Amino acid sequence: MFYLMFISSLTLIISSIVMILASLLSKKTIMDREKNSPYECGFDPKGSARLPFSLRFFLIAVIFLIFDVEITLLLPIASIMTLSALTSWLFTSLTFLLILLLGLYYEWYQGALQWSD
């Protein structure tokens, strides 16, 4: 147990040190107008490079990714059925499916799945 805690804390410390060093060393101090422009060829752009992005599209994409990962977690349940007791397998899979359905109904209730208003 002590060995596991030691390795976990050592990993946390090393990763924190690496992240801090990377953030300190990656700071760029030279701010050039040409380098900050969207085109580096020397021509002035005709329009803005920052086009408006639909927040609704982003929200639906994030919800899709979340449910896609959860479906990926559901796939091994079928192969585990033969290796575990039927009651524990049934309880675990039904609990996971219930959590998925509750999340879906909550998103539906909040109106996040409607594309147009």
Which residues, 6+ apart, have CB-to-CB distance to 92 below 8 Å? 77
pLDDT value of position 49: 64
CA dihedral 53, 56, 58, 59 (to 10 degrees): 160
Q: Is residue 116 part of a domain?
A: no
Which residues, 6+ apart, have CB-to-CB distance to 1 below 8 Å? none
Q: Residue 38 phi/psi, 5° resolution?
A: -70, -25
Q: Is residue 68 part of a domain?
A: yes
pLDDT value of position 83: 86
pLDDT value of position 35: 62
Q: Is residue 85 part of a domain?
A: yes
Q: Is residue 115 part of a domain?
A: no
| Cβ 63 vs Cβ 107: under 8 Å | yes
Q: Is residue 117 part of a domain?
A: no
The span from the CA of 88 to the CA of 42, in Å, is 66
pLDDT value of position 42: 59
Task: Identify the CATH number of the domain in which residue 91 sits.
Answer: 1.20.58
pLDDT value of position 67: 82
Q: Is residue 15 part of a domain?
A: yes
For the chain, how many structural domains are there in total? 1
Please list the rounded mean pLDDT of every run of 10 residues in the chain (117 residues).
90 94 76 61 64 78 85 84 87 90 88 73
pLDDT value of position 9: 94
Q: Is residue 18 part of a domain?
A: yes
Q: Is residue 86 part of a domain?
A: yes
Tokens 């349940």 belong to: 77
pLDDT value of position 20: 92
State which residues form the domain around 31.
2-110
**The residue type at 35:** K
